[in-house]
């Protein structure tokens, strides 16, 4: 699955970890020096090395070092980086036409992606979609549609939420540093309700946590002022927080009773990542609108809002769109990627990855008291790091662990409101041997705690 034979630079990429220079190597150092005089300082990179090729579970840098990819470019290359089927579809479409603008000259692949989204997203109701270029743009459009459909202004989001970096989505995002600090004033009419965070809310049951949120909304906003409740079914950047069972369903019932549009932001959780095509399915929740991006197109920039036809179609013709939204090359990539999710049952693969990683991470907890919790679903797993014997977040130890993994050639990401979560988002096509290797390295680094 990971060593396809289609032509391309990454086709022969050996699926083992290998460090042939110190990290960063000389070629990466050269590029880093150029970067410092050309690239804005506000754009940060996790890796100190520059990428030359990537395929399967391996990222190879410009000095020939091969790193294990436990990040998938933040849950994007779930079908594998440069998946041969995606690369071939991109090449074929690029040879035919690269752009017409769907608002000028429409084309079939846009329609086909919307049909696939209707089929794959939760619920059997009639749906419509609009295609866009980034996740933040999808969230912006979901809010536009909900406001148009309800005639209301207020948008409720959750604590620890992440919805993007544009002005509206910054306002919807919880964490100030690095996402919001100094970038205000922010969009108005955004209200934040408490989330369900089982490790940190004293074991509050899901329906109790939902009632706590509903009480806040009722008292501080008023249900009949709320256009949309926008939530991540598993909080992503906020720390891979899986809400207690019943939290989402209770909020969904409240939204339905009060004419509030329930928007599930499945930008990170969608497309097989959590072991189901969409994370709402784990809780039996059918949202009114779903935002997707990241995993949708094998690495090409594409995003969407998909939802109930009667809500979506309240928007007047011309009210939705954008020059690049649903670009034909991105649509071709999405159709190829979606075929891979279904053909290879990558949701089942995500569940297998979960049991393999949990099989290593859970036992490690008894030896490593800084691992407060292992959580997540499917191939969206994380460990929260605290001071041993307490819930005090330990961002320093978290950074040490991530850096230690990187130095040994395993690319892991961190996240969390308190910066104390190490997350694992491997491509769903990664070999088991690489997963085991990554877990060996992780354990070695964790157990070397000072």
Residues at the interface with ligand PLP (CB under 6 A)? 134-136, 139, 162-164, 232, 236-237, 265, 267-268, 293
Residue nearest to ligand PLP (CB): 135
Nearer to ligand PLP, 294 or 408 (CB): 294
Cβ of residue 156: shortest distance to ligand PLP, in angstroms? Answer: 16
Helix 84-96 vs helix 328-343: angle between axes, to the nearest 10 degrees?
150
The residue among 50, 56, 47 whose CA lies nearest residue 17 is: 56
Of 108, 169, 117, 119, which Cα lies nearest the Cα of 143? 169
- DSSP string for residues in 229-277: EEE-SSBTTTT-BPPPTTHHHHHHHHHHHTT-EEEEE-TTTTTTTTSSS
| DSSP 8-state secondary structure symbol assigned to residue 282 | G
Minimal distance in Å, beta carbon 26 to ligand PLP?
Answer: 32
Nearest to 419 by CA among 441, 392, 447, 446: 392
- Rounded to a whole number of angstroms, the minimum distance from the CB of residue 192 to ligand PLP is 15
Question: Rounded to whole angstroms, what are the CA distances from 305 to 84, 131, 144, 347?
Answer: 27, 7, 11, 21
d(CA 236, CA 266): 10
Q: How far apart are CA 412 and CA 69, in angstroms?
A: 7
Least separation in angstroms between CB 27 and ligand PLP: 28
CB of 448 to ligand PLP, least distance (A): 31
Of 164 and 404, nearer to ligand PLP (C-beta) is 164
Q: How far is the CB of 252 from ligand PLP (least distance, A)?
A: 18
Closer to ligand PLP by CB, 139 or 226: give it.
139
CB 135 within 8 A of CB 267: yes
Residue 268 C-beta: closest distance to ligand PLP, Å:
3
């Amino acid at each position: 699955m990971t060593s396809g034979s289609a032509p391309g630079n990454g086709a022969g990429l050996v699926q083992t970890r290998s460090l042939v220079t110190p990290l960063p190597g000389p070629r990466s150092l050269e590029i880093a020096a150029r970067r410092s005089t050309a690239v804005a300082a506000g754009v940060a990179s996790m890796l100190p090395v520059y990428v030359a090729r990537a395929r399967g579970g391996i990222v190879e840098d410009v000095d020939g070092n091969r790193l294990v990819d436990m990040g998938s470019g933040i849950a994007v290359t779930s079908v594998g980086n440069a998946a041969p089927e995606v690369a071939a579809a991109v090449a074929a479409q690029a040879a035919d036409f690269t752009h017409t603008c769907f608002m000028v000259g429409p084309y079939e692949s846009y329609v086909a992606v919307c049909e696939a989204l209707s089929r794959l997203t939760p619920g059997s109701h009639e749906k419509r979609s609009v295609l866009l270029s980034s996740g933040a743009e999808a969230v912006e459009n979901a809010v536009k549609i909900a406001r148009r459909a309800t005639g209301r202004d207020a948008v409720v989001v959750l604590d620890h939420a992440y919805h993007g970096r544009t002005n509206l989505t910054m306002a919807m995002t919880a964490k100030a540093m690095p996402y919001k600090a100094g970038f205000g004033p922010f969009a108005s009419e955004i209200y934040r309700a408490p989330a369900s965070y089982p490790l940190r809310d004293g074991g509050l049951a899901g329906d109790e946590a939902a009632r706590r949120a509903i009480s806040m909304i009722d008292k501080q906003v008023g249900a009949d002022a709320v256009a949309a409740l926008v939530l991540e079914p598993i909080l992503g950047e906020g720390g891979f927080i899986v809400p207690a069972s019943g939290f989402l369903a209770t909020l969904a019932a409240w939204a339905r009773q009060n004419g509030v549009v329930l928007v599930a932001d499945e930008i990170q959780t969608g497309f097989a990542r959590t072991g189901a095509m969409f994370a709402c399915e784990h809780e039996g929740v059918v949202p009114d609108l779903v935002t997707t991006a990241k995993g949708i197109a094998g690495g090409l920039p594409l995003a969407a809002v998909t939802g109930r036809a009667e809500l979506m179609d309240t928007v007047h013709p011309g009210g939705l769109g954008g020059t690049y939204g649903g670009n034909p090359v991105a649509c071709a990539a999405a159709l190829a990627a979606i075929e891979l999710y279904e053909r290879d049952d990558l949701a089942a693969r995500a569940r297998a990855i979960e049991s393999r990683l949990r099989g290593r991470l859970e036992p490690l907890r008894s030896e490593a008291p800084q691992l407060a919790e292992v959580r997540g679903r499917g191939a969206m797993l994380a460990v929260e790091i605290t001071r041993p014997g307490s819930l005090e977040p330990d961002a320093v130890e978290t950074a040490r662990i991530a850096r230690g993994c990187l130095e040994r050639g395993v690319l892991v990401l961190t996240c969390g409101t308190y910066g104390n979560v190490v997350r694992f988002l491997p491509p769903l096509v990664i070999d088991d041997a690489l997963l085991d290797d990554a877990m060996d390295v992780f354990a070695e680094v964790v157990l070397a705690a000072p």
